[in-house]
């Protein structure tokens, strides 16, 4: 069977991580956009998925529990997406908790560096608010910098201060993320495979080695359709997915007002034939 329906978005973020929409608001946007299959993939957090799942009504789009783990090893940084897992499984909860603890440790280090290196300090109530978040990160610090007049814009806060803060790397390994997803019955997928750390672009042999290394660890898919991909990048990822018999997914990386990326902006156009890897993924996830 060949699918041609384009309205699929399997990569988006809510205010639980670094998006601006609550899970409820995000679900409303998904409904209005006419999306048929979607997933919420907050960074190192699954509580937003629980909220979306509880809000679903008959006739709503098909929803997959999702997550995006920030990972790093000796070879580089990776974002590992997880789909269709059991949210109550100890394995997925363990990876989420480990990621949350890493974020809290980095938050404390950044607050200290902001104070000692840049003279930027926030009231105790705001620091307590940050620690209570399920997924505190640099976007939350940037918003506080704007609120208290340390920066005119969020973008400026990143470029002039936050990206210059040097804190130790505290990341989940890609092997642990993949294992946690699979042990919970889910499907691990490499997000935007051509993009590495910062502006790093990974192509050709380097990309092939990265994919094969992760496949050996249990990776099952590649995000072949992505808002930031050119036609050339997309073709390369799709070719590797076909060569190595991997699933294909499609995602926008929607963050609400934090990024100028609309929902369903995946590069999967109305006349784009669905590659076999995407058809298999949707079929095996019981989406269509």
Domains of the chain by residue range: 8-89+187-284
**Cα separation, 156 vs 142, whole angstroms:** 9
**Cα separation, 143 vs 129, whole angstroms:** 13
Question: What is the rounded average pLDDT of the residues 165-187?
Answer: 93
Reported as a single tens digit per residue, the pLDDT across 14-67 is 999 889 999 999 999 999 999 999 999 999 999 999 999 999 999 999 999 999
**Length of the chain, please?**
288
Predicted local confidence at residue 1, as pLDDT: 40
Residue 3 has pLDDT above 80, yes or no: no
Residue 8 has pLDDT above 90, yes or no: yes
How many helices (H) and strands (E) the chain has is answered by: 10, 7
Q: Which of 83-87, 195-199, 223-227 has the lowest mean pLDDT?
A: 195-199
Residue 2 has pLDDT above 80, yes or no: no
Predicted local confidence at residue 253, as pLDDT: 96
Query: 8-89+187-284 maps to which CATH number?
Result: 3.20.20.140
This prediction has a pTM of 0.90
Cα dihedral 37, 43, 45, 47, rounded to 10, equals -50
Residues 6+ apart with CB under 8 A from 237: 193, 194, 207, 222, 223, 224, 229
What phi and psi values does residue 66 have, to the nearest 5 degrees?
-140, 170
Calculate what percentage of the chain has a pLDDT beyond 90: 82
Residue 258 has pLDDT above 90, yes or no: no
Predicted local confidence at residue 5, as pLDDT: 62
Reported as a single tens digit per residue, the pLDDT across 127-165 is 999 999 878 888 899 999 999 999 999 889 999 999 999
Predicted local confidence at residue 224, as pLDDT: 97
Q: If pLDDT is split at 50, 70 and 90, which confidence band does 228 have?
A: very high
Reported as a single tens digit per residue, the pLDDT across 199-224 is 789 999 999 999 999 999 999 999 99
């Amino acid at each position: 069977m060949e699918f041609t329906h384009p309205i699929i978005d399997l990569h988006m973020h809510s205010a639980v991580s670094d998006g601006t929409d609550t899970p409820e608001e995000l679900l409303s946007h998904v409904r209005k956009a006419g999306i048929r299959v979607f997933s919420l993939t907050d960074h190192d957090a699954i509580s937003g998925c629980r909220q979306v799942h509880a809000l679903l009504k008959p006739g709503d789009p098909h929803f997959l529990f999702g997550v995006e783990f920030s990972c790093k090893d000796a070879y580089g940084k990776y974002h590992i997406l997880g789909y269709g897992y059991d949210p109550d499984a100890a394995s997925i909860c363990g990876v989420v908790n480990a990621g949350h603890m890493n974020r809290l440790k980095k938050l404390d280090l950044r607050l200290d560096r902001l104070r000692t290196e840049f003279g930027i300090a926030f009231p105790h109530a705001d620091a307590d608010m940050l620690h209570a978040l399920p997924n505190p990160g640099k976007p939350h610090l940037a918003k506080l910098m704007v609120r208290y007049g340390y920066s005119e814009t969020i973008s400026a806060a990143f470029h002039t201060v936050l990206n210059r803060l040097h804190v130790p790397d505290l990341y989940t390994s890609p092997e642990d993320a993949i294992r946690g997803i699979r042990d919970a019955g889910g499907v691990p997928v490499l997000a935007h495979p051509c993009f590495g750390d910062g502006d790093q672009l990974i192509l050709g042999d380097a990309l092939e080695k990265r994919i094969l290394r992760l496949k050996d660890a249990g990776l099952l898919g590649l995000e072949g359709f992505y808002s930031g991909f050119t036609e050339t990048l997309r073709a390369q990822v799709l070719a590797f997915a076909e060569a190595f018999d991997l699933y294909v997914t499609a995602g926008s990386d929607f963050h609400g007002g934090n990024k100028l990326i609309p929902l369903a902006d995946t590069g999967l156009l109305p006349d784009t034939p669905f590659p076999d890897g995407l058809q298999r993924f949707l079929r095996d996830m019981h989406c269509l």
